[in-house]
């Protein structure tokens, strides 16, 4: 229990203190509950003795009604307080976890499935909120009331109280064992839930492919198998808890027959009177009821407690370290100094990369697939940290800058564009949240997308589908360029955006890119070599090394890989069927 509470406190953080009052009020409610229980017991005893009078009926009824009203007020206040505090803690937790995950390097997302991350941010936090708003106060209330009932039992008959205590001590290890099984098999079930979520996301994202290859429904075995495995793990979870729950219920239910036997023997032996016998029976009924509640509540809490552990595991992941936030840099050059890099201790991807991209110039990265071009762009954005050498922006090592302050100086346009399920205006505002509509429209005009936006039914208020599915590839690209325009960052990183577009879209996007790159520090990944002939420097990469560097003219004179590829592309232009 101590370990469990420690986990809950760590997951909730400082806001956990706001729930302490709720726990205290629940214990106070237990005292009032015991007071009502005592009044009912006194009433029954006096009825049996025949000394009950109308005056006592009025008095006892008034006390019971008063206690009921106080409990009702206390419960409503405590319930409201607990719900608000628990919801606030869960809301803060979602936001803080989201910010924390955003600060991690991309290796974390490669190691952890989307199912696990989605489960942590949705199901686990919802489960944790359930603990805070319902289970936590309830279990303290049950324990406190049971302790009061046992203390009262000792005042009535120490022999019976001792017997009840022994039964509880026998039952508690069974409850604890059930909790351990719930924890063990609950973890397996949660892993199965994560796999199901991953498969569902995969299924939805790839639905077109699955339809084409007739893999929908039962034919898509990966999704089907994940559901079957979840079913098996859910059944295992229930079956693992069942024996302990049944034995716990049997033992705690024995309190009533045992109290009848002990009470009857003691009553016939003259060791207790009728009033004490009635008190023993009522205490037994109350204790048995509380133990039944505890027996169902504890395994549930241990199962839900796994959610707190999952939250802590995510929180314990180390974010990218930094020393300072900067709103402005003295210069915006990008320099690689003998950079070496590998993904998560795999084979080295980049080997001794050195180059400088100066403000107002364009640096093009060319080379075959897998040569390290996209990795260089990712390292400049600090999606990863290098293992050797350094990367400087404006003369400052990027490891010293917070990822947010670093990327605030950069506009990135990837080949694969992701748009939010939101209006076109808000998708453009992703570059600068809060920008007025006039500036959004100016950015769209610069990105050559104002005309097609205005032709849509709701113009800038048109909601695009998930990931921009309702727009063409060229339209999505131009909106992403509009994002970069409205951000107006001094460093522009481009993963060539025209390699898979038709001629009309390519012409429009090239116009927009020419405007975007003006007077900026530009680094562009080029797949079509003809698009980088005017670059200030061209870096030819092969197997993570810079094999050639220079301007278009200088590289042609070197007669290396670049010159050969240009010659091949010129030959391809002359092909005819």
Strands of 348-357's sheet, edge to edge?
A: 348-357, 334-342, 388-393, 396-397
Distance CA 57, CA 44 (A): 11
Confidence band, pLDDT 50/70/90 cuts, at residue 513: confident
In order of their start, the domains of the chain are: 330-409+492-503+520-577 (3.40.50.300), 415-488 (3.40.50.300)
pLDDT > 80? residue 236:
yes
Q: State the pLDDT at residue 263.
A: 84
Coil vs helix vs strand at 518: coil
Average pLDDT for 380-403: 87
Average pLDDT for 129-155: 86
pLDDT > 80? residue 558:
yes
Picking from 405, 404, 370, 377, the residue whose alpha carbon sits closest to that of residue 391 is 377
Q: State the pLDDT at residue 547.
A: 92
Coil vs helix vs strand at 527: coil
Distance CA 176, CA 302 (A): 9
Main-chain phi, psi angles of 364, to 5 degrees: -105, 135
pLDDT > 60? residue 33:
yes
Confidence band, pLDDT 50/70/90 cuts, at residue 180: confident
Average pLDDT for 293-314: 83
* Cα dist from 417 to 363, 365, 466, 476, 497, whole Å: 22, 20, 12, 6, 9
Least confident of 104-118, 205-219, 271-285, 378-392: 205-219
Picking from 299, 285, 84, 77, the residue whose alpha carbon sits closest to that of residue 174 is 299
pLDDT > 80? residue 207:
no
Beta-carbon contacts of 166 under 8 Å, excluding residues fewer than 6 positions away, are none
Beta-carbon contacts of 234 under 8 Å, excluding residues fewer than 6 positions away, are 189, 192
User: Is the sign of the CA dihedral 295, 301, 306, 312 positive or negative?
Assistant: negative
pLDDT > 60? residue 502:
no
pLDDT > 90? residue 336:
yes
| pTM for this predicted structure | 0.71
Percent of the residues in the chain that have a pLDDT greater than 70, as a whole number: 92
Question: How many CB atoms neighbour CB 518 within 10 A?
Answer: 10
Q: State the pLDDT at residue 405.
A: 83
Question: Residue 402 in contact with residue 372, Cβ under 8 Å?
Answer: no
Mean pLDDT of the chain: 83
Residue scoring higher pLDDT (511 or 146): 146
Q: State the pLDDT at residue 383.
A: 84
95 token code pair? 């936001």
Distance CA 421, CA 419 (A): 7
């Amino acid at each position: 229990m101590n370990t469990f509470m420690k986990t809950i406190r760590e997951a909730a953080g400082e806001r956990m203190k706001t729930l302490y009052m709720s726990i205290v009020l629940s214990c106070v409610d237990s005292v009032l509950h015991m007071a009502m229980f005592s009044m009912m017991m006194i009433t029954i005893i006096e009825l049996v003795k025949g000394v009950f009078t109308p005056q006592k009926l009025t008095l006892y009824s008034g006390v019971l009604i008063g206690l009921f009203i106080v409990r009702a007020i206390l419960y409503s206040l405590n319930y409201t307080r607990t719900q608000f505090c628990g919801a606030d803690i869960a809301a803060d937790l979602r936001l803080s976890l989201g910010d924390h995950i955003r600060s991690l390097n991309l290796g974390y997302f490669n190691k952890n499935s989307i199912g696990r991350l989605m489960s942590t941010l949705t199901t686990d936090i919802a489960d944790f909120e359930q603990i805070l708003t319902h289970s936590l106060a309830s279990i303290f209330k049950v324990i406190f009331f049971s302790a009061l009932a046992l203390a009262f039992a000792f005042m009535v008959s120490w022999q019976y109280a001792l017997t009840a205590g022994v039964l509880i001590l026998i039952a508690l290890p069974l409850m604890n064992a059930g909790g351990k099984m719930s924890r063990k098999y609950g973890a397996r079930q949660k892993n199965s839930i994560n796999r199901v979520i991953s498969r569902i996301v995969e299924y939805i994202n790839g639905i077109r492919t699955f339809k084409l290859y007739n893999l929908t429904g039962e034919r898509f075995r990966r999704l089907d198998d994940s559901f079957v495995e979840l079913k098996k793990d859910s059944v295992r979870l229930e079956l693992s808890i069942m024996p302990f729950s049944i034995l716990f219920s049997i033992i705690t239910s024995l309190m009533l027959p045992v109290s009848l036997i002990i009470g009857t023997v003691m009553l016939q032996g003259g060791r207790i009177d009728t009033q004490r016998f009635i008190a023993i029976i009522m205490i037994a009924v109350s204790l048995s009821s509380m133990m039944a509640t505890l027996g169902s509540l504890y395994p549930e809490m241990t199962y839900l407690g796994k959610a707190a552990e999952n939250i802590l595991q995510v929180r314990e992941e180390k974010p990218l370290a930094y020393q300072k936030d900067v709103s402005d840099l003295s210069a915006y050059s990008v320099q690689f100094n003998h950079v070496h890099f590998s993904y998560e201790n795999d084979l080295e991807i980049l080997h001794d990369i050195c180059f400088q991209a100066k403000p107002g110039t364009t640096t093009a990265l060319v080379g075959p697939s897998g040569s390290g071009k996209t990795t260089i762009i990712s390292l400049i954005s600090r999606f990863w940290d290098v293992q050797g050498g350094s990367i400087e922006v404006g003369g400052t090592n990027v490891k010293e800058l917070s990822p947010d302050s670093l990327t605030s100086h950069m506009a990135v346009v990837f080949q694969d564009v992701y748009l939010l399920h939101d209006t076109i205006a808000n998708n453009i505002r992703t570059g600068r949240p809060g920008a007025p509509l006039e500036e959004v429209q100016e950015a769209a005009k610069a990105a050559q997308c104002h005309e097609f936006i205005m032709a849509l039914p709701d113009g800038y208020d048109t909601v695009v589908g998930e990931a921009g599915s309702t727009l063409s590839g060229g339209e999505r690209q131009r909106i992403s360029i509009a994002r970069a325009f409205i951000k107006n960052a001094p460093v522009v990183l481009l993963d060539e955006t025209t390699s898979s577009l038709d001629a009309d879209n390519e012409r429009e996007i090239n116009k927009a890119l020419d405007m975007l790159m003006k007077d900026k520090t530009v680094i562009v990944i080029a797949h079509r070599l003809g698009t980088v002939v005017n670059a200030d420097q061209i870096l030819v990469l092969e197997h993570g090394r810079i094999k050639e560097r220079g301007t278009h003219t200088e590289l042609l004179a070197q007669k290396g890989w670049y010159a050969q590829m240009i010659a091949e592309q010129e030959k391809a232009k002359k092909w005819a069927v």
